Structure 1
């Protein structure tokens, strides 16, 4: 039986010790370290070999630390607490690498074990890491052994915080139960099974391999697709029988659609119509239809369009008039309003879908007389950042004149400008990728 790596996640920034979420006199780091220590003690009492990741290293160093020690029969878990602008949001979840039924089953096993011990903690389910804020989680992707990231609830919610602090031993025992079962389920492969590779509808001559439930493809095929991974240190490579392979899912950022057919054990790759060099440009033409936007929004919040039934149409129409990419603007709205759940300072009645401030610094930000005018203001503010061209329609954005025109043509350049969040642009772009994958455009 393999070893178990347990990491107490805290923030994930570049510093060696980022406390993560800070709320109600505690921090994410403190709560996760205390919980992790109990998990390790419990597992060791059951005879498992457990390695506790040092707490004074950052995420990249954590991955390096584990990879320097791990083998195929080991498993790795990082625990986190979530945070939300709304104190009512709560629940535990587990993230896994996408297109991996085996890892999803492991995630379900882990979450179920936790909820059996702490039924007071609601479940937010198991989800692929493409559903996370940044569209991928390095801990799920870059660890050489099977790995999962578990979020133990929302530290910003009083009820979840109470469970973490006052039922900590139950939480730890539940996670230990799941880890014990997961570790027993993972065994080293003497030979990796093969899988077929379908590219744009045709079967490729060479086969891929399946490692820990993930489809890997030969590096020579990656080169033939015109993708240069030589400078991509984040992409995990393995050598098997003198051939270098990479995870198929790691090709997604290079405009390659990646799917899986379990019945025929085939990884499905498709070049997309989305140009990688244009996907993050604010000025441009969107690729989705009203129906695409409606279905995507309702898949994230079934009640999203009850109050704003025409919102997808409004974004497409208003963005087209000013030459702004409506896909980016719409996904920014999803981030700012939590898929029209709101819950922060801005209320639905303000028709403020971009988190816009006003010219006088009102605590709740700007308000607009209709949904269309609110969308128009957001589009105009995006155009202010991304272009020096004049507006087509009458100005309704209250802060248009304060922007240095054309300073941020790429969505990533909105980070630290539109929002203080340094990952703001990355989160919008990750949502765009999810929208395109959901709409079968990527």
Structure 2
């Protein structure tokens, strides 16, 4: 398997080019993460990154790291400045490995020929320069400059998510073609079932989850996805062409008290359709089936220190006509069983991730756990109903007015609307709720058995 190093230029205290509040280091990282995701999802390849967060790294640190890995290719991703416009690429202007110029031609031409079919991008040509990361790296190396951050027309494209995704895809395809990367094999139906054992805003939390999986003898690696400018770190524990094998791994992980879900990708033509949502008739509006104590007892099977919020979810759910027991499952999903391993901290009493709209945005805070639950229920009400709020409580949800009222009648319709990741957000909530139901049912069976034994003693 070939190894590729992606190097998002600048970072940390070095912003690179800056213009109208936009910083090159951010565009570099967003593009590199997307290139990485595309290559890992589609090809048999090992991807390493000089940085995967807003981190300061010297040029020497980058080249030393690259040279310590025995990598097959080094790609440095930048965005230009200086009043020009367009795309250009660079190789070292001295002696280079034989494959370097060939790789440059394939990647450069592949990008420019395709991108200008959709966007007004000028080809500034294939160039050579005495850049440190090109001169000091031992493997074939290429540096790309994607448009000009200080050109208003270029900047409007760089702030267009569709353009950035297309750019990353074309660069990734160019890399794959240049290095003859083998495509991942798919099932006859074209589907790949990925087992995701955690998705986090904080990379450190993802690394901790991956370390836990490896400690328990499971494979694990971290992939990234950027949605609405927000980066998520997914911990992938396996990928199968046989769904039964993926489901078996999920069952094993659940026994280890590690929450996981299946991310289905791919069809015969290589596109990724949205997965068929299970229990798609489960509405957000409705009555709770579980009792408060059943919610509290379930969450404590995973986190014995979890706050006792079951009463609030059932009570406010009933007042607003929301299925409070499923809302509790959503809170579990958002907070990782109230362990708060993501962006929100326990003292915020924010159990639904309200207001965590991007990196560095910590979200809303509430004065008490009860108020935090009320805000959560009110936000769900905004999505599920077009009616006025019940007058019994003041509005405490700071984002209520930002919701497209009535746009999500079912839990799975929260996909892409609430703080995601991916297209399985609602399914993940229902998966937690299903486990809560199963736990409650098992407890009821034990109670029934105990009652029957007592009856037998009295006969």
Normalising by the smaller structure, the TM-score range is: 0.3 to 0.5
Of structures 1 and 2, the larger Rg is shown by 2
User: What TM-score results when the alignment is normalised by the length of structure 2?
Assistant: 0.42
